[in-house]
Amino acid sequence: MLTQTKAPALSLFFSSLPFVVDKGKIKSILGKMTKRLFSLIFSLFLLIACAVKPKVTPIAKTITIFYTNGLDLNNIARIAKFVKQEKGKNPCLFIIKGKIFGTEPITTLLRGEAEIAILNRAGVDAVILSADFLRFGTKRAKELQNQGDFFFLGANLFSVDQSKPLAQEYLIKNLAKTKISLIGVLLDTTSFYLKLSGIERKDPVPIIKRLVPMLRLRSDLVGLGITNANSIPVKDVDFVIGLTDSQLTKPNAPESETEPTVHRFDLLLSDNNMIIDGHDSKIFLADTVIEDSSVKATIERYQTLTDSILDLRIINLRKDLTIENLLNTISSAVLVETKADGFIFSNQLVKNPIPKGRFSYRNLFSVLTKSENLPIIFLKGREIQALKDKELEVRLSPKWKNSKLVLEKDYQIVTATDLSEIDLSDRVINLTDSSLVSIVFNYLTKVK
């Protein structure tokens, strides 16, 4: 097959002209014109790009929500002072989410009254409840709610019998002409306090989906506050507070994280209350932040009342009580008081021995690692035997002491230790009528 080679188009054009031309000069001129043309096109492109700027929505205001993970009586006075100062600069909310009750004598003896009074003085807007709020029973929980000047949020905590919510489902606050609503829910928990109080933790998703459309009509923004969770159950809300620390930024973390901390959640809004941005950070308060005087005074008042109770009851011990003696005494006291089949504890229940002589309620609080009312659970004989093998102390009632454990029999056991391998939420029968410290002190009064 034959092929024909085609000459370049420019050469054919020059050869067809009736006169002689300088091909090199023509190519040079054409090259310069091409460069100028590309330069002109590029300049025109830049001009158009600069003229068409993306529309940026200006930030009109910032709404701030401060929150802490639980109540820390040692630091709440400083945190309250800091938040009150911030409230003077910018509209904000102050939320406590999670546990508000500790194991200190002030809680055990006054059954939550001190914490509610302190939160009132701190200017808290709401508490997002945990199961710990039911430590003293449903009746006491209702009494404490009546004493509070703030919202108690628990949208998915309902009475098993009456299907009535334990607390409020949401709050609505007007901040800088923006109405903010916040739904509070308790997510994952295995706490036995719910069962003992006749309270059911319902699936929060349907409840949130029911509340959101109604709150859209009554507020500009709808948020969700969560406790005990690492994930967000729904995406129908505008913002969520209560994420895990791993999801937060830490702008000023010191070398030690034992200092008072508060979380700051900022919502950056446009004029029409559209969220432009939102971020959550942890703030570590410096020593320069002083304590709020009214909160400090309230803590001191209730601490004085607690001290008077601690020092009021005094007995005289005739002999020293070693740690082993104390553990034996505690076991006997619990089994006599509760009439349970057994008592489970670890050697860490007692911190140090007690010398003979004057001995008060305060002394007993100082040596016990647990002081609150203890759960009474049922365990199979085989489960009790397995716990013995794990170096936990198991003391049986005298009526079973000389008997062999029946492997499939249910025994009523008081436990003063966390049994992580057993889900106590389905095993708890009741709580001891009195706190452990009260049980032991009353027993020592009789046998001193």
What digits encode the pLDDT tens for the residues 187-223?
866 678 887 888 888 889 999 999 999 999 999 999 9
- Helix H, strand E, coil C: the string for 334-377 is HHHHHCCCEEEECHHHECCCECCEEEEHHHHHHHECCCCCCEEE
One-letter amino acid identity for 400? W
295 in the same domain as 277? yes
Q: Which residue has the tokens 């759960």?
A: 375
d(CA 100, CA 304): 20
CB-CB contact of 168 with 151 (8 Å): yes
3-state secondary structure of 126: strand
d(CA 57, CA 31): 47
Which pLDDT tens digit goes with each residue over 133-188? 998 888 899 999 999 999 999 999 998 766 678 899 999 999 988 999 999 998 86
Q: Per mean pLDDT, which range of 170-179, 186-195, 278-287, 430-439 is the poorest?
A: 186-195
352 in the same domain as 280? no
- Mean per-residue pLDDT of the chain: 82
DSSP 249: B
318 in the same domain as 295? no
Instruction: Give strand ranges (E) for 208-339.
Output: 221-227, 239-241, 261-269, 275-284, 314-317
Q: CA quadruple 292, 297, 299, 303: dihedral positive or negative? A: positive
Res 269: pLDDT:
85
Banded pLDDT at 254 (limits 50, 70, 90):
very low
CB-CB contact of 267 with 280 (8 Å): no
Q: Which is it for strands 410-415 and 375-380: parallel, antiparallel or unpaired?
A: antiparallel
339 in the same domain as 293? no
Look up the CATH number of the domain holding residue 354. 3.90.780.10
Alpha-carbon distances, residue 383 vs 6, 97, 393, 395, 425 (angstroms): 96, 35, 13, 14, 16
Q: Assess if residue 123 is contained within a domain.
A: yes
Q: Which is it for strands 151-153 and 126-128: parallel, antiparallel or unpaired?
A: parallel
Give the pLDDT mean for 359-376.
Answer: 89
Res 339: pLDDT:
92
319 in the same domain as 288? no
CB-CB contact of 365 with 437 (8 Å): yes
Domain limits for position 186: 61-304
288 in the same domain as 203? yes
CB-CB contact of 202 with 175 (8 Å): no
* Higher-confidence position of 447 and 1: 447
* Higher-confidence position of 33 and 385: 385
Q: Per mean pLDDT, which range of 48-62, 294-308, 310-324, 327-341 is the poorest?
A: 48-62
Residue 68 has pLDDT above 90, yes or no: yes
Res 302: pLDDT:
97
Q: Which residue has the tokens 């054409």?
A: 30
CB-CB contact of 359 with 316 (8 Å): yes
Rg, C-alpha atoms of the chain: 35
Q: What percent of the chain clears pLDDT 90, i.e. is strictly above it?
A: 42
Res 247: pLDDT:
43
393 in the same domain as 254? no
Q: Assess if residue 424 is contained within a domain.
A: yes
Banded pLDDT at 281 (limits 50, 70, 90):
confident
181 in the same domain as 285? yes
3-state secondary structure of 14: helix
CB-CB contact of 203 with 187 (8 Å): no
d(CA 222, CA 218): 10
Residue 1 has pLDDT above 90, yes or no: no
Q: Assess if residue 362 is contained within a domain.
A: yes
Q: Assess if residue 330 is contained within a domain.
A: yes
328 in the same domain as 220? no
How many domains are there within the chain? 2
3-state secondary structure of 262: strand
* Higher-confidence position of 254 and 375: 375
Res 253: pLDDT:
41
